[in-house]
């Protein structure tokens, strides 16, 4: 599945779409409406460690996995001046004015599924290359920048359980 953006009356809307083969042709089937798409530009260039007011070593050591994801998400929203967005990490909802939305950030989209995938990531197997690649792809898909130092420490944290 992938996201398709449709422009309707000048506004962008996101849909989960799936490709299926039927009679030798590829057909797209809309699986789910995701919400209106917001495409903000970066307004503030603050480093993650300035934002959290901590050093990389102490930060990752003293925070849980979920707290780190929350901070990285808040940092992205701050950098893009999205103070009116409500994100609920328990229900994985991303809303504006109590309506589900999709936020185009960096190279990805932040919405309920990408948030859920990030928060519920479980390292499977013992191939660190594969686990690291899969883990990094989740951040890219969600549009969340993650400083290298934080990624490495977080990766160590999730693979040592």
Instruction: Give me the chain's average pLDDT, please.
Output: 91
Does any domain span residue 11? no
Q: What is the pLDDT of residues 116-156, one digit of tens each?
A: 999 999 988 888 999 999 999 999 999 999 999 999 988 98
pLDDT attached to residue 161: 58
Domain count, the chain: 1
What is the residue range of 131's domain?
40-159
Does any domain span residue 57? yes
DSSP states along 31-78: EEEEEEEE-PPP-----HHHHHTS-HHHHHHHS-HHHHHHHHHHHHHH
Q: What is the pLDDT of residues 9-23, one digit of tens each?
A: 999 999 999 998 888
Does any domain span residue 128? yes
pLDDT attached to residue 10: 93
Does any domain span residue 5? no
């Amino acid at each position: 599945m992938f996201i398709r953006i449709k422009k309707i009356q000048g506004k962008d809307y996101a849909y989960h779409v799936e490709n299926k083969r039927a009679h030798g042709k590829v057909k797209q089937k809309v699986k789910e409406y995701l919400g209106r798409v917001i495409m903000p530009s970066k307004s503030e260039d603050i480093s993650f460690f300035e934002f959290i007011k901590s050093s990389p070593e102490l930060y990752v050591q003293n925070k849980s996995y979920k707290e780190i994801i929350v901070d990285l998400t808040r940092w992205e929203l701050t950098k893009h001046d999205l103070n009116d967005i409500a994100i609920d990490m328990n229900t994985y909802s991303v809303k504006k004015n109590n309506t589900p939305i999709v936020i185009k950030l960096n190279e990805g989209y932040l919405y309920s599924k990408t948030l859920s995938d990030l928060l519920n990531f479980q390292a499977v197997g013992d191939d660190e290359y594969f686990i690291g690649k899969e883990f990094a792809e989740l951040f890219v898909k969600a549009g969340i920048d993650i400083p290298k130092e934080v990624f490495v420490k977080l990766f160590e944290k999730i693979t040592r359980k």
